[in-house]
Structure 1
Amino acid sequence: MAPHAGQPGAWGPLLPGLLLLAAALSRPAAPCPFQCYCFAGPKLLLRCASGAELRQPPRDVPPDARNLTIVGANLTVLRAAAFAGGDADGEEKEAGVRLPLLTALRLTQNNIEVVEDGAFDGLPSLAALDLSQNPLRALGGAAFRGLPALRSLQLNQALAQGGPALLEKLDAALAPLADLRLLGLAGNALSRLPPAALHLPRLEQLDARRNALAGLGTDELRALERDGDLPGPRLLLADNPLRCGCTARPLLAWMRNATERVPDARRLRCAAPRPLHNRSFLDLDEAWLRCADGDADGRGEEVDLAGPELEASYVFFGLVLALIGLIFLMVLYLNRRGIQRWMRNLREACRDQMEGYHYRYEQDADPRRAPAPAAPAGSRATSPGSGL
């Protein structure tokens, strides 16, 4: 008699397959391998396809995809509405909504050099965008338009080759992102922070590590403070060549009043001037960060800072000399009687010696006591009474 479905034996042949399917569904999604593009749907089922020759965003991504990762492709240029049906030939068309559920888009290491205006149009649910490790040279001022839900934008190691013009465009592109919470700008050789990034009203963290920041000015620090109930953003500044001179005083005072705003504050080190090289920034004494008279921009501060270490060494050397001198005076005071006796003996010895010299001088000056001259050779010696 064949077993019914409710009996245990009915599931016997299907049990191994069900267990494998359950294991596959419970297994977390693996990271997308290099030269591949991956997408995951609502059920977190990961699919992968070759992307080595990919030169434009793929068209076979299902509309229910939530996450899309493209790694190792050669996209070069992201044109308008590139992920929502835009024309690959450069003719801008009205963007459709082809991926309405897409929330995360990762485009790292794809040789992207240009991001045109509206490149991400038609992605209404996109919350996280990662363009890190791409050699960006041009960025449209409206590149991130149409992303009302964007919360995280990563541009790490992506802006170093664009120059000042790219930073100006970045300012314009960041301005509309009113709901942005996380901004990554690490490893971009930035000498200043984009002003638009400092004025984002809901920004919670700004990653500015591994750049070329010599410090932050008073205007930048003022922009990080907010008048409303929202707290200011956290700021990551490690591995920047901070110049610990006159212009560093506002940043040092700000960090000491709000240390929690800089989670990596203990990792900050001075790169200049030379006497303060590699010294912990938080451990600096504000008295060392002096400005020259009339030197508002901090030029010449290295002369003022020639400084702290040498002054400290001079003070220590002076204290040692003072201690040695004090000990010497104490020894003289404790042995004053012996020193007086020694001085008296020395004076008497000198007097005796001088009296001896004086006596010998008087004896040598008396002609009667002068020695007789020697007789010439061959003469005959006579006695006084010989009469000869």
Structure 2
Amino acid sequence: MAPRAGQQRGRGPLLPGLLLVAAALSPPAAPCPFQCYCFAGPKLLLRCASGAELRQPPRDVPPDARNLTIVGANLTVLRAAAFADADGEKETVVRLPALTALRLTQNNIEVVEDGAFDGLPSLAALDLSQNPLRALGGGAFRGLPALRSLQLNQALAQGGSALLEKLDDALAPLADLRLLGLMGNALSLLPPAALRLPSLELLDARRNALTGLGTDELRALERDGDLPGPRLLLADNPLRCGCAARPLLAWLRNATERIPDARRLRCAAPRSLLNRSVLDLDEAWTRCTDGNVDGRGEEEELAGPELEASYVFFGLVLALIGLIFLMVLYLNRRGIQRWMRNLREACRDQMEGYHYRYEQDADPRRVPAPAVPASSRATSPGSGL
């Protein structure tokens, strides 16, 4: 009996482990979609990479799926209720009530219609990065009440100003959005709606075309009350320094922690401040002339410090040349003295020669008789004619 009891004690720890493995390997509640990979577990994960063959989201995704990733497909247009079933014209049947993360990168998505994500009540993270978006419905994200993270990196560069206006309308209902990724979209201005999101904690605006932040944008980043404003990533933007950088520089010095990559901010213009750190600018480099903040005004305002620096450098060069000249004179003082002595002797000999010639020319006895013309000699008396 003792060995049998020992065997039972040995099987005790093994049985839960076998049950856990069986649960991990158990199939999901619904079959995995064709050409997708399903990973069972506490959170059902689906990854679909079907290339150009997949032209719309799969319809047979298991209802208990938590994470869905579609990469490399050809989802050109995301129509209304693309991940739900439309019952009539207004009713939407939820097919994926547990889906919390949806990744749709590199799927050649060009159009996202209104209500494209309706029927996803639990979705908290949406990634549409690296898609050539050209049109975005103003109500594209209206059915995402739980959305916390939205990634639109390298997805808005081809849409132009019209797409940015629609983006403002699409972001407005996302009151609980915490993270917004807008990296690599050639943005010259930050979307105003993004700055007004009440719960936004981080706005990634790296690698865009931002030349600076105006007073209106900086004011929008400040919230009333005790709520902290969002953090902002601005590295790799062609920031224009000089007078135009005064609002941003003043805001940075009062809230450096709001821009985690502040040390990476570099000036792209004007040429005299190229690659200079924005945080290293002082009052001499940010003076404004008559409130002029355009390109020509900045060049004028930077002429003073630039010219001053040039004068200092020129003075140092002249001082160095003078020091070298004095050193050469000191090291060759004996030769210079000998050369000056020889020069003085040569000048003295030359002057004595001039003095001797002057004395000879001044003696009347040594003045030669003037020549007499031949005609005068022929007619003179006593010539015998």
Shared fold (TM-score, shorter chain, > 0.5): yes
Q: Which consecutive residues of structure 2, in runs of 5 or more, have no partner in the other structure?
A: none
TM-score normalized with structure 2 length: 0.78
From the superposition, tell whether residues 270 and 39 of structure 1 become closer, same or farther in structure 2 (CA, over 3 Å). farther
> Could you tell which deviates more after superposition, 378-387 or 102-111?
378-387
> Could you tell which deviates more after superposition, 283-292 or 334-343?
334-343
Q: 2:310 aligns with which of 298, 308, 313?
A: 313
How far off its partner does 1:210 sit? 0.9
Larger helix percent: 2
Q: Is the contact between residue 275 and residue 307 of structure 1 (CA under 8 Å) also seen in structure 2?
A: no
From the superposition, tell whether residues 137 and 3 of structure 1 become closer, same or farther in structure 2 (CA, over 3 Å). farther
> Could you tell which deviates more after superposition, 302-311 or 8-17?
8-17
From the superposition, tell whether residues 347 and 56 of structure 1 become closer, same or farther in structure 2 (CA, over 3 Å). closer
In structure 2, how many angstroms separate the alpha carbons of the residues matched to 1:371 and 1:18?
145
From the superposition, tell whether residues 142 and 19 of structure 1 become closer, same or farther in structure 2 (CA, over 3 Å). closer
How far off its partner does 1:106 sit? 0.8
How far off its partner does 1:349 sit? 10
In structure 2, how many angstroms separate the alpha carbons of the residues matched to 1:26 and 1:308?
73
How far off its partner does 1:327 sit? 10
Give the secondary structure class of the aligned counterpart of 1:88. Answer: strand
From the superposition, tell whether residues 38 and 144 of structure 1 become closer, same or farther in structure 2 (CA, over 3 Å). farther
Q: Is the contact between residue 56 and residue 88 of structure 1 (CA under 8 Å) also seen in structure 2?
A: no
From the superposition, tell whether residues 321 and 22 of structure 1 become closer, same or farther in structure 2 (CA, over 3 Å). farther
From the superposition, tell whether residues 340 and 32 of structure 1 become closer, same or farther in structure 2 (CA, over 3 Å). farther
Q: Is the contact between residue 108 and residue 133 of structure 1 (CA under 8 Å) also seen in structure 2?
A: yes
How far off its partner does 1:293 sit? 2.8
Give the secondary structure class of the aligned counterpart of 1:355. Answer: helix
Equivalent residue for 1:289?
286
Q: Is the contact between residue 26 and residue 40 of structure 2 (CA under 8 Å) also seen in structure 1?
A: no
Q: Is the contact between residue 245 and residue 301 of structure 1 (CA under 8 Å) also seen in structure 2?
A: yes
From the superposition, tell whether residues 97 and 22 of structure 1 become closer, same or farther in structure 2 (CA, over 3 Å). closer
TM-score normalized with structure 1 length: 0.77
Say whether residues 1:75 and 2:75 are aligned partners. Answer: yes
> Could you tell which deviates more after superposition, 235-244 or 5-14?
5-14
Question: 1:177-256 alignment to 2 at 5 Å?
Answer: 177-256=174-253
- Count matched residues: 385
In structure 2, how many angstroms separate the alpha carbons of the residues matched to 1:189 and 1:34?
38
> Could you tell which deviates more after superposition, 361-370 or 267-276?
361-370
In structure 1, how many angstroms separate the alpha carbons of the residues matched to 2:224 and 2:276?
34
From the superposition, tell whether residues 382 and 81 of structure 1 become closer, same or farther in structure 2 (CA, over 3 Å). closer
How far off its partner does 1:231 sit? 0.9
From the superposition, tell whether residues 26 and 40 of structure 1 become closer, same or farther in structure 2 (CA, over 3 Å). closer
In structure 1, how many angstroms separate the alpha carbons of the residues matched to 2:180 and 2:237?
17
How far off its partner does 1:243 sit? 1.3
From the superposition, tell whether residues 166 and 47 of structure 1 become closer, same or farther in structure 2 (CA, over 3 Å). closer
How far off its partner does 1:107 sit? 0.8
In structure 1, how many angstroms separate the alpha carbons of the residues matched to 2:356 and 2:44?
123
Q: Is the contact between residue 36 and residue 73 of structure 1 (CA under 8 Å) also seen in structure 2?
A: no
How far off its partner does 1:301 sit? 1.7
How far off its partner does 1:291 sit? 2.9
From the superposition, tell whether residues 340 and 5 of structure 1 become closer, same or farther in structure 2 (CA, over 3 Å). closer
In structure 2, how many angstroms separate the alpha carbons of the residues matched to 1:201 and 1:137?
27
> Could you tell which deviates more after superposition, 253-262 or 295-304?
295-304
Q: Which consecutive residues of structure 1, in runs of 5 or more, have no partner in the other structure?
A: none
Q: Is the contact between residue 47 and residue 70 of structure 2 (CA under 8 Å) also seen in structure 1?
A: no
How far off its partner does 1:336 sit? 15
In structure 1, how many angstroms separate the alpha carbons of the residues matched to 2:145 and 2:252?
33
> Could you tell which deviates more after superposition, 128-137 or 310-319?
310-319
From the superposition, tell whether residues 37 and 340 of structure 1 become closer, same or farther in structure 2 (CA, over 3 Å). same
Q: Is the contact between residue 111 and residue 134 of structure 1 (CA under 8 Å) also seen in structure 2?
A: yes
How far off its partner does 1:95 sit? 1.3
